[in-house]
Structure 1
């Protein structure tokens, strides 16, 4: 089941320009739109990386109850899907966003933020970084901005 979900998310993230309507698939296949947006979590314009050295990374991220990611930023675009739990993300400037299982996330680029699990169950995300070879996907921020 999780393999199928990951495959569907990859198709969603990288096949967005070719979004099909239900009639475009064979019978027995259902395509459900999870997210279509032009902005990131912080309502900033979505960006694509312009590079000759593309590198795509898929990660499973698990955050224990009471834990947080620590303040960090992403120099490359990041898309995530919440498999389990409830995630709270605070973005520099004070805005806070809440995500639950089944939510898709388009993270902010180059803006410090901190993910927290304020719940009693683990948070599990599948994250897709559309970066470039030699560039880190995540950069930790020394202190709370």
Structure 2
């Protein structure tokens, strides 16, 4: 996966907002038209609203099954994350990794590291639209 992301980043050099200089270092982290499970990115309609959250998960802790109706991007600041989908697929990310989260797909995130998992997540949503929907009990 890292090799794929590196190749993808090499192909987006024209999309960099700032250029490297003596006092500025620019390192592309993510550019993709699909989420990590291969679904296309679709922005919600309505008045745009960008939200950022710092999410911390204790060792062994889980987010619980949920889905995001809007695109979101996560930077793993500390720890190791394992994301499980209902179809059995999993995705792992560790400190320094950036991932394009799945959209409208039930998933559960789990801290598989020994310390606190810290995620910096940005949601590209719309005013009044939820960022996360918890799975109803019994489903």
- Which of the five TM-score ranges fits, normalised by the shorter chain? 0.7 to 0.9
| C-alpha distance in 1 between matches for 2:137 and 2:37 | 20
Contact 1:83 1:126 in 2 (8 A): yes
- Counterpart residue number, 2:32: 37
Q: Which runs of 5+ in 2 are unaligned?
A: 1-13
The offset of 1:142, in angstroms, is 2.0
Task: Say whether residues 1:141 and 2:135 are aligned partners.
Answer: yes
| C-alpha distance in 2 between matches for 1:60 and 1:121 | 16
- Counterpart residue number, 2:82: 88
| C-alpha distance in 2 between matches for 1:92 and 1:144 | 14
Greater helix percent: which structure? 1
Residues matched between the structures, number: 127
| C-alpha distance in 1 between matches for 2:107 and 2:25 | 35
Contact 2:35 2:100 in 1 (8 A): yes
The offset of 1:38, in angstroms, is 2.1
- Counterpart residue number, 1:46: 41
| C-alpha distance in 1 between matches for 2:45 and 2:132 | 18
Extract structure 1 runs of 4+ deviating beyond 6 A.
none
Q: Which runs of 5+ in 1 are unaligned?
A: 1-16
Contact 1:71 1:144 in 2 (8 A): no
| C-alpha distance in 2 between matches for 1:37 and 1:64 | 30
Match for 1:124 among 118, 134, 139? 118
Task: Say whether residues 1:113 and 2:110 are aligned partners.
Answer: no
- Counterpart residue number, 1:19: 16
Contact 1:42 1:91 in 2 (8 A): no
CA deviations over 1:52-96 (Å, ceiling 9, x no partner): x11111100001001000000001111110000000000121100
